[in-house]
């Protein structure tokens, strides 16, 4: 029973990863193609007010985030739902009482996930915004390198870039810290509590 379920889980996970990877790459390809085509017909006013690095970031980094969502997050989410459903069904067949005790912890997991979502969305949005700023600063510096060197502005540009770069690292570390707090220790603690209830 256990080995059969594990085998089914592995097959479903493999097929799911393969399917969502293909779908995500196709979607990203179409979005980038359409975005590039749209860029060709935009008026000069748009390019005057929008930094080149920001445009590049939208076409590359933002579309890559969509790919990650489909190939990684969505695939894992569907796989987790399948595993949870099969596990819950098996537990109900074995012992309804013990299953009821385990289900008690589900609201706590939902609360943790919701709390993680609220905090992580703000951090991730800021991280992507700062990455766009980095690309913009790089593009502007490369385009205007002759003027920058002619007026001796290298140190000023370097300092401005360092400020943005450090801020991006700070928010990236915040994202890692949130993952470390909510996705591992908190879930592990709930798992231990569930085991303790079952063994009591």
Please state the rounded mean pLDDT for residues 139-166: 91
Interacting residues of 73 by C-beta distance below 8 A, sequence separation 6+: none
Task: Please check the confidence at residue 23 and state whether its pLDDT lies above 60.
Answer: yes
Q: 107 and 88: one domain?
A: no
The tally of domains found in the chain comes to 2
Residue 199 has a pLDDT of: 62
Residue 194 has a pLDDT of: 60
Residue 125 has a pLDDT of: 87
Q: Find out whether 190 and 105 touch, Cβ atoms under 8 Å.
A: yes
Between 20 and 199, whose confidence is greater? 20
Residue 200 has a pLDDT of: 56
Between 7 and 83, whose confidence is greater? 7
Q: 142 and 183: one domain?
A: yes
* This prediction's pTM: 0.65
Q: 105 and 185: one domain?
A: yes
Residue 155 has a pLDDT of: 93
Q: 55 and 101: one domain?
A: no
What does the alpha-carbon distance between residue 50 and residue 44 come to, in Å, rounded to a whole number? 10
Query: Residue 194's domain spans which residues?
Result: 96-200
Between 52 and 173, whose confidence is greater? 173
Q: 129 and 65: one domain?
A: no
Q: Find out whether 116 and 136 touch, Cβ atoms under 8 Å.
A: no
Residue 156: which pLDDT band, with cuts at 50, 70 and 90?
Answer: very high
Q: Is 152 left (phi over 0), alpha (psi -120 to 50) or beta?
A: left
Q: 111 and 200: one domain?
A: yes
Q: 12 and 85: one domain?
A: yes
Read off the pLDDT of residues 91-137 as tens digits, 9 standing for 90 and up: 788 778 877 877 887 788 788 878 888 888 889 889 888 988 898 88
Identify which of 3-17, 19-33, 134-148, 163-177 has the greatest average pLDDT.
Answer: 163-177
Q: 64 and 75: one domain?
A: yes
Q: 125 and 54: one domain?
A: no
94, 109, 132: which is the final residue of a domain?
94
What does the alpha-carbon distance between residue 1 and residue 73 come to, in Å, rounded to a whole number? 28
């Amino acid at each position: 029973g256990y080995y059969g379920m594990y085998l089914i889980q592995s097959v479903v996970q493999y097929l799911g990863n393969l399917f969502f990877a293909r779908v995500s790459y196709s979607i990203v390809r179409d979005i980038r193609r359409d975005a590039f085509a749209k860029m060709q017909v935009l008026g000069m006013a748009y390019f005057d007010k929008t930094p080149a690095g920001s445009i590049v970031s939208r076409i590359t980094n933002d579309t890559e985030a969509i790919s990650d969502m489909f190939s990684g997050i969505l695939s894992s989410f569907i796989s987790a739902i399948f595993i949870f459903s099969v596990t819950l069904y098996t537990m109900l067949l074995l012992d309804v009482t013990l299953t009821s005790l385990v289900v008690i912890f589900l609201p706590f997991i939902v609360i943790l996930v919701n709390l993680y979502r609220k905090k992580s969305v703000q951090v991730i949005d800021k991280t992507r915004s700062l990455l766009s700023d980095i690309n913009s600063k790089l593009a502007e510096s490369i385009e205007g390198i002759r003027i920058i060197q002619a007026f001796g502005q290298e140190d000023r540009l370097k300092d401005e870039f360092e400020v943005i770069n450090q801020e991006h690292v700070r928010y990236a570390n915040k994202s890692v810290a949130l993952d470390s707090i909510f996705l591992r220790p908190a879930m592990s603690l709930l798992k231990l509590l569930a085991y303790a209830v079952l063994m009591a």
